[in-house]
């Protein structure tokens, strides 16, 4: 009997549920504990269930996804405004769109980062595997 035959496959983690919990900035394992200990600082472990979260390697993905989403929203809104009200003064465009982009980016970055960490957890990436404790 080989070593591989005796090893049981780890329990499947529901990707959709984990990412949904991540979007709510909660632990991907239990959905109760907070993902962050500060604005963008992922907690080392879930305060509710103890799941280790320090394995994440989000790196540049959250800002990239945030910029893509916010860019599409802001440019889409800008085009709608320009088509609907073509005489909108330039000073109003200069005041509204950069501010909207900044606010949306700051609001969307934490849930997007949390969802990406949850995605890594669900797929057992970067140390979120069976050796780290199974949930």
69, part of any domain: yes
108 falls within a domain: yes
Residue 6 inside a domain? The answer is: no
From 20, 43, 21, select the one nearest 30 (Cα to Cα). Answer: 21
On whether the pTM is more than 0.95, the answer is no
- What's the average model confidence in pLDDT over 79-107? 97
* Domain limits for position 21: 13-132
Joined together, the tokens standing for residue 49 give 């269930």
Quickly count: other Cβ atoms within 10 Å of residue 66's Cβ.
20
Residue 39, φ and ψ in degrees, nearest 5 = -45, -55
Classify residue 5: in a domain, yes or no.
no
Residue 46 lies in a domain: yes
Closest CA to 56 of 107, 22, 106, 24: 22
- Please tell me the predicted confidence (pLDDT) of residue 24: 98
What pLDDT does 1 receive?
A: 47
User: How many distinct structural domains can be found in the chain?
Assistant: 1
Asked if residue 1 is part of any domain, the answer here is: no
């Amino acid at each position: 009997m080989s070593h591989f035959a005796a090893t049981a496959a780890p329990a499947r983690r529901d990707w959709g549920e984990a990412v949904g919990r991540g979007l709510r900035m909660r632990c991907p394992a239990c959905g109760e504990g907070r993902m962050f200990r500060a604005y963008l600082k992922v907690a080392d472990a879930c305060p509710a269930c103890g799941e280790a979260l320090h394995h994440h390697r989000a790196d540049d993905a959250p800002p990239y996804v945030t910029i893509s989403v916010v860019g599409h929203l802001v440019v889409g809104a800008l085009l709608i405004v320009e088509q609907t009200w073509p005489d909108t003064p330039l000073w109003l465009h200069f005041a509204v769109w950069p501010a909207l982009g900044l606010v949306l980016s700051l609001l969307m970055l934490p849930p997007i980062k949390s969802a990406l960490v949850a995605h890594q957890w669900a797929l057992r990436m970067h140390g979120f595997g069976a050796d780290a404790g199974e949930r």
